[in-house]
Amino acid sequence: MKQTILTSALIPICCLFFSSVYAQDSDNGLKEFHAFPQVLGHAQTKLAETLEELNYNASLHPGHTDRNTGLWDTRFLKRSEWTSGFFAGTLWYMYQLTGETQWKDYAKEWTEDLESTANLNIDHDTGFRISSSFGNAYQLIQGQYYQRIMLRAANTLAQRYDPKIGAIKSWDWIGNFPVIIDNLMNLELLFWNAENSGNSEWYNIALSHAETSLKHHMRPDGTSYHIVDFDDSGNVNWKGTRQGYGPNSVWARGQAWAIYGFTMIYRYTGKEKFLDAAIRAADYFIDNLPDDFVPIYDFLEPVTTVQSKDASASAIAASALFEIYEFTNNARYFNSAVNILNSLSSEQFMSVNSDISSILKQSTLHRGHGNVGTSYADYYFLEAIIRYRKIKQAEFPRIGSQSVFYLDQNFPNPFNNTTQIFYSIENSGEVEISIYNSAGRKIRQLVNTYLPAGSYRLDFDASGLSSGVYLYVLRSNGQSVTRKMTLIK
């Protein structure tokens, strides 16, 4: 779908930005982030330019920019990349911040293109791909379709759990059973789905992984290992980092994942040990930040020639620090997050007056590959801004929840006599659901009525039909969608 981006809301950016970078404290001791209008304008411009750069092709999902051209690196636009959900998520955040339907329409397209990744069992990143896209879709427009895909994704991620080790296997291509600190982030998919489906097994898996990670990734001083590799009995083979400097160094983004991950785990479990771990990790991060509040990609990198900054680490940490503030009411965490936001809004880190396609620049993928923009730095930057504005009780545009036109795969499938079909209707209207046999003959009409927009469940009883493959078709308002079901008697 191609649409013209509204530019009327865009705010001219230039030097006026940055008078507020080192903002004064307000009366209650909480710092202010004044650059919001300028950042919003800049972010809209960059998102609009990215849509054009992608030729409005929703199967392309930006990961990071090319160091030479500043454009999104075309080798990393695939659905299967760990980063594929972030652009969709950033579009959702833009919709939340502006209430403009164009952002919602694009967000839906880029999200729905990722549906197949809910079944992709190649690594732990199912959580990143699906929570940032479908998770935000569900938060904002409540379509049952989005929830169904989240459930599917949780099921996929849970398959990577090994009870002997008490962890989810992060990668299949290195070591024996590698578990990386980033994996904490993906537990949210399990916690959220457990809470919303009543499947306590997912909660138990996520909790067990969190405990294993707390025990083996975290050092007493609050710093974290990137990778812990386990043998088949759960003993540690090796600990270290691939993306940071060295075995005992402190990879900055890993540290940010630890802060964010343990805070989120505390949100779902209420267990103080996780909040304590998050605070220890946050204290190290804050205490070791340079004057511009953006770390070198590894806090312990000693070689001056590879000292690239990682804005993504600060964006992730800022978002998490706002949540720590909400749990602790300690202004240190709020003000540290605002310091980061103010710095990221400066010309040093925001891609103002430049051809770089991302909103933020100066992130590092891994040692030796710095100075890029990333879709995740942009995503967590906007998320942090949303969290700031919520704490400050700023106004958000009113967003009506909205359904989508969707027909789910029946469950169970194959089935013996009874199965459930979930579907949703975007606009109120006449709705028909019919069953066809493999010869294309209509054999049952299950729904034929006027329905308001919304989500529905249908219980189908196939008594009287013989075993075989059947098609079921949903039609409404000139749209139709067909799926197959298999009856086995």
Active site residues: 125, 182
Least distance (Å) from ligand GLY to the CB of residue 181? Answer: 9
Question: Crossing angle for the helix pair 331-344 and 375-391, nearest 10 degrees?
Answer: 130
Q: By C-alpha distance, which of 144, 88, 133, 192 is closest to 408?
A: 144
Q: By C-alpha distance, which of 426, 390, 384 is closest to 407?
A: 426
Please state, in angstroms and rounded to a whole number, the distance separating the CA atoms of residues 96 and 104.
9
End-to-end CA distance of the chain: 43
Please state, in angstroms and rounded to a whole number, the distance separating the CA atoms of residues 150 and 152.
5
The residues in 167-186 that bind ligand GLY, with binding defined as CB under 6 A, are: 182
Q: How many secondary structure helices (H) and strands (E) does the chain include?
A: 13, 12
**Per rule CB under 6 A, is residue 188 in the interface with ligand GLY?**
no
Please state, in angstroms and rounded to a whole number, the distance separating the CA atoms of residues 453 and 427.
5
| Beta strands 227-230 and 418-425, pairing class | unpaired
Q: Which is nearer to ligand GLY, 251 or 460 (CB)?
A: 251
Total residues in contact with ligand GLY, by rule CB under 6 A? 4
Least distance (Å) from ligand GLY to the CB of residue 175? Answer: 16
Least distance (Å) from ligand GLY to the CB of residue 256? Answer: 9
Least distance (Å) from ligand GLY to the CB of residue 313? Answer: 9
**Per rule CB under 6 A, is residue 217 in the interface with ligand GLY?**
no
Least distance (Å) from ligand GLY to the CB of residue 476? Answer: 40
Q: Which is nearer to ligand GLY, 82 or 106 (CB)?
A: 82
Query: How buried is 386 (Cβ within 10 angstroms: 0-12 exposed, 13-18 middle, 19+ buried)?
Result: middle
The residues in 38-57 that bind ligand GLY, with binding defined as CB under 6 A, are: none
**Per rule CB under 6 A, is residue 82 in the interface with ligand GLY?**
yes
Q: Which is nearer to ligand GLY, 112 or 182 (CB)?
A: 182
Least distance (Å) from ligand GLY to the CB of residue 14? Answer: 33
Residue nearest to ligand GLY (CB): 182
Q: Which is nearer to ligand GLY, 127 or 143 (CB)?
A: 127
Q: Which is nearer to ligand GLY, 82 or 146 (CB)?
A: 82
Question: Cβ neighbours of residue 368 under 8 Å, at least 6 residues apart?
Answer: 306
Least distance (Å) from ligand GLY to the CB of residue 375? Answer: 12
Q: 309: which DSSP letter?
A: B
**Per rule CB under 6 A, is residue 87 in the interface with ligand GLY?**
no
**Per rule CB under 6 A, is residue 253 in the interface with ligand GLY?**
yes
Q: 35 phi and psi, to 5 degrees?
A: -80, 10
Least distance (Å) from ligand GLY to the CB of residue 63? Answer: 10
Q: In what order do the strands lie in the sheet with 227-230?
A: 177-180, 227-230, 236-240
Q: Which is nearer to ligand GLY, 190 or 431 (CB)?
A: 190
Least distance (Å) from ligand GLY to the CB of residue 26? Answer: 34
Please state, in angstroms and rounded to a whole number, the distance separating the CA atoms of residues 470 and 482.
10
Tokens of 489: 């008697």
Query: How buried is 267 (Cβ within 10 angstroms: 0-12 exposed, 13-18 middle, 19+ buried)?
Result: middle
Under 8 Å between Cβ of 326 and 332:
no
Q: Which is nearer to ligand GLY, 113 or 310 (CB)?
A: 310
Q: Which is nearer to ligand GLY, 262 or 470 (CB)?
A: 262
Site string for ligand GLY, 131-170 (x = CB under 6 A): ----------------------------------------
Query: How buried is 10 (Cβ within 10 angstroms: 0-12 exposed, 13-18 middle, 19+ buried)?
Result: middle
Q: Which is nearer to ligand GLY, 77 or 485 (CB)?
A: 77
Question: Crossing angle for the helix pair 84-98 and 375-391, nearest 10 degrees?
Answer: 30
Q: What is the CA radius of gyration of the chain?
A: 24
Under 8 Å between Cβ of 107 and 50:
no
Please state, in angstroms and rounded to a whole number, the distance separating the CA atoms of residues 469 and 440.
11
Which residues contribute to the site for ligand GLY (CB under 6 A)? 82, 182, 243, 253
